[in-house]
Structure 1
Amino acid sequence: MTFRDFKTEDFLQHPVFRNWVLEQEPEATRFWEQWLQENPDKQPAVNQARELLLLIGGGPAHAPAPQDEEQTWEKVLQSISIANQHTVTGAKLVALHKKRRWWPYAAAALLAGMLVACAVIFFSLNKTVQYATVMGEMKTIELPDHSVVKLNVNSTLSFSKKWAGTGPREVWLKGEAFFTVQHTYNNQRFVVHTNDVDIQVVGTEFNVNTRRVKTQVVLRNGVVKLTLNNTTSAKKATAPITMKPGDMVTYSAATAELSNQRVNPEQYASWSTPALLFNETPVAEVIRSLQDNLGLTIVLEDDSLGAQTFTGTIPRDNINVFFITLGRSFNVHTEKTGANTYRISKTQGE
């Protein structure tokens, strides 16, 4: 089992995790901080395990001495109280506690059992929620703060079931989504995590696309701040990148490539409408959009056509509009070669 497969109770029992949380050992701290950077979607599970371990304090590895019995017992009872008596375990343990004969032999087993029980209860009350879509499927999701996320095809969104009233509202995205974020009375931050950037807002509308080893953020209105992840250039940055409406920032942590340009935000959010919108967009980029949003495979036999631009709308249910426009504008012919595959070639005689 790898750390990615761990559940809350698995983290609680792992020695390196305990060394990080309870002992703050430098090597363990470096390991887990790096691991969380590489696996940001596991942050909720790690936070749950960390908070629970700090609450309980680890517990002894052996039976306590008689003089420590009362203090240890109080710690156990405090750990049970987080469940608000959702089970009868606490009452049963109090009754057993009156029979002191068993204590020296069962204390360690009791604490270990309580760790698991509390972990299960804590996890059930604070579990991570995940939504996923496949090709041809889109979802509209209402978050705990009533913000709304439109999730595009082949995408995944995850977040904690419950958000604190003062801490950041955090979500993790793979794929593409359009966010309409509600402003809160206390200006609570909203953070979208991707492999490339952390996107911080208070209340706004923006589109995020994490496909093709990069993250593209397009702001419709409000203000967005981007923090770049995992590169030398990101470490040198003294402040987040502040975006204004109409800005499009594209960044790849893998290649350290960063670009910023002015665009029409409606074009980049048109995937959520019945028709895709393009304005002087290179044909090669249009084809990539059709592949991402409709699952089509389109082969260009003449690579030079990819650099030509296309302006217009393409109904999601009528792809032929695109092919007809290309044919009239560039004298090319489109052949359907499979259920979702096409080939575009020059018209004979050209």
Structure 2
Amino acid sequence: MDYSAYTVEDFVSDPYFRKWVENPDQPCYEFWQAFMQQHPEKISTLEDARELVLFLSFDVVQPAIQEQQEVKASILREIRRQKHIPEPTKPAYTRITHLFRQQMYWKAAVLVGILLVAVVVLYQTRQATSIHTAYGQTRIVTLPDGSVVTLNANSTLRYTTNWAKSHIREVWLSGEAFFQVRKKPEWGHAKFTVHTDQLHVEVLGTTFNVNNRRGKVQVVLNTGKVQLQPVNNAQDTITMQPKDLVEFTADEKVYVKKQVNPEEHSAWRNHKLIFNEKSLREIAQVLEDTYGVEVVFSDPALKYRRFTGAIPNHDMNLLLDILSQSMNIQMKKNNQTILIKSE
């Protein structure tokens, strides 16, 4: 495909470009990186198209209660104004015409109200921010209320920016992130909500880690208290206490809850990975999700070998060397493929 002559609209309509923006795999990521190197003049066009794709895919945000009330009040004022127009003494057919016009005015007022609501929704939606990290990259994000999010590699965080006005604190997460949520007593009980594919995570002020990958959502609570609610079942909620780990799988639609050391699950914030009796299969998934590589086992039995230890993750080659020496295996990297085999 020759993308050199593509416009912003062309890129937005292209499925492979949208895949790169929304859910890239390694070949897709490498293709567009190479394209930008070969066509630096298209980088600005790509960025504009990327922002537009993220905007179009962002969930529509409902107007704040105050704004809804303002719109409603505007509609009622218009209806009352039309309703109390003096009605002079006129022939019967003239009064009928006047009533017909009055009904038309009311309908027009309602239509104006609907349009005002649509404008408010569009305005709020356009205040959306989307942040994406590449493979091997982490990023610290300060939210509008002062809460801090550390975004892990290959992850996307989306949120609106009008929190001070709406007092609605919510973000959408794909990938993994660690949250340090501030309490906002001046806002009353303004809950903080993290939306994932399968779960809504609701808190008032706390620190926790959310991993939303491979059709499974895992939440680990460090401090405070959170409540989990499946997207498709508002009644089936669960409350977490510190040191709780809860997993929810889309296929099974049940919670798995256990006690853990929370620091093991958020150690990536400090550029290290902590594994406690983790199988090589689980470690391989971490490598694939973090670095965008494909892990291949020469012997399927190796998947069940287990490892315990802490490894720095700022250098993937160093990480592979430490694992190889610690487990007496060979982990050979060739381009974006890692082959694991016995010594």
Question: What amino acid is the match of 1:182?
Answer: R
Which of residues 275, 279, 288 in structure 1 aligns to 2:276? 279
Which of residues 225, 228, 250 in structure 2 aligns to 1:226? 228
2:142 is the counterpart of 1:142: yes
**Retained in 1: the 8 A contact 2:63–2:121?**
no
* Aligned match of 1:17: none
* Aligned match of 1:346: 342
* Aligned match of 1:22: none
What is the deviation of 1:152? 1.8
Secondary structure of the structure 1 residue equivalent to 2:123: helix
**Retained in 2: the 8 A contact 1:180–1:206?**
yes
Which of residues 290, 297, 302 in structure 2 aligns to 1:300? 297
Question: What amino acid is the match of 2:213?
Answer: R
Distance 2:142 2:158 in 1: 12
Distance 1:112 1:166 in 2: 25
Secondary structure of the structure 2 residue equivalent to 1:134: coil
Per mean C-alpha deviation after superposition, the further-off stretch among 141-150 and 268-277 is 268-277
Distance 2:333 2:84 in 1: 73
Distance 2:164 2:250 in 1: 30
* Aligned match of 1:16: none
Q: What is the CA deviation profile of residues 255-307 of structure 1, one whole-angstrom value per residue up to 9, with x for unaligned ones?
A: 31421112221121122222222222111111111111122222111222222
* Aligned match of 2:123: 124
**Retained in 1: the 8 A contact 2:62–2:121?**
no
User: For residues 176 and 328 of structure 1, do their structure 2 counterparts lie closer, same or farther at Cα, with a shift above 3 Å needed?
Assistant: closer
* Aligned match of 2:158: 158
Question: What amino acid is the match of 2:184?
Answer: T
What is the deviation of 1:122? 6.5
Which of residues 202, 213, 216 in structure 2 aligns to 1:214? 216
**Retained in 1: the 8 A contact 2:202–2:227?**
yes
Which of residues 82, 86, 91 in structure 2 aligns to 1:71? 82
Secondary structure of the structure 2 residue equivalent to 1:333: strand
Indicate the RMSD between aligned Cα atoms, in angstroms.
3.7
**Retained in 2: the 8 A contact 1:230–1:253?**
no
User: For residues 197 and 332 of structure 1, do their structure 2 counterparts lie closer, same or farther at Cα, with a shift above 3 Å needed?
Assistant: same
Secondary structure of the structure 2 residue equivalent to 1:268: helix
Distance 1:312 1:45 in 2: 46
Secondary structure of the structure 2 residue equivalent to 1:145: coil
* Aligned match of 2:192: 190
Q: What is the CA deviation profile of residues 292-340 of structure 1, one whole-angstrom value per residue up to 9, with x for unaligned ones?
A: 11222221112222222112223223334443444445442222222x3
Q: What is the CA deviation profile of residues 203-254 of structure 1, one whole-angstrom value per residue up to 9, with x for unaligned ones?
A: 10000011010110001111111112325xx65x3xx311111111000234
Distance 2:323 2:120 in 1: 59
Q: What is the CA deviation profile of residues 70-107 of structure 1, one whole-angstrom value per residue up to 9, with x for unaligned ones?
A: 42899xxxxxxxxxxxxxxxxxxxxxxxxxxxx99x97
* Aligned match of 2:59: 42
* Aligned match of 2:201: 199
Question: What amino acid is the match of 2:339?
Answer: R
User: For residues 73 and 311 of structure 1, do their structure 2 counterparts lie closer, same or farther at Cα, with a shift above 3 Å needed?
Assistant: farther
**Retained in 1: the 8 A contact 2:157–2:172?**
yes
Distance 2:323 2:152 in 1: 26
Secondary structure of the structure 1 residue equivalent to 2:315: coil
**Retained in 2: the 8 A contact 1:335–1:343?**
yes
* Aligned match of 1:65: none
2:255 is the counterpart of 1:253: no
Q: What is the CA deviation profile of residues 13-56 of structure 1, one whole-angstrom value per residue up to 9, with x for unaligned ones?
A: xxxxxxxxxxxxxxxxxxxxxxxxxxx962415779x9387566
What is the deviation of 1:116? 5.3
* Percent identity of equivalent pairs: 33
User: For residues 174 and 317 of structure 1, do their structure 2 counterparts lie closer, same or farther at Cα, with a shift above 3 Å needed?
Assistant: closer
What is the deviation of 1:113? 7.8
Q: What is the CA deviation profile of residues 172-194 of structure 1, one whole-angstrom value per residue up to 9, with x for unaligned ones?
A: 21211111001122343211111
Question: What amino acid is the match of 1:192?
Answer: V
Q: What is the aligned length? A: 266
User: For residues 73 and 212 of structure 1, do their structure 2 counterparts lie closer, same or farther at Cα, with a shift above 3 Å needed?
Assistant: farther
Secondary structure of the structure 2 residue equivalent to 1:269: helix
What is the deviation of 1:160? 2.6
Q: What is the CA deviation profile of residues 148-179 of structure 1, one whole-angstrom value per residue up to 9, with x for unaligned ones?
A: 11122222222232226785522221211111
| TM-score of the pair, normalised by structure 2 | 0.65
Structure 2: give runs of 5+ residues left out of the alignment.
Answer: 1-12, 14-56, 86-100
**Retained in 2: the 8 A contact 1:271–1:293?**
no
**Retained in 2: the 8 A contact 1:139–1:152?**
yes
Distance 2:325 2:117 in 1: 67
2:177 is the counterpart of 1:180: no
Question: What amino acid is the match of 1:336?
Answer: K
* Aligned match of 1:244: 241
Structure 1: give runs of 5+ residues left out of the alignment.
Answer: 6-39, 61-67, 75-102
User: For residues 230 and 120 of structure 1, do their structure 2 counterparts lie closer, same or farther at Cα, with a shift above 3 Å needed?
Assistant: closer
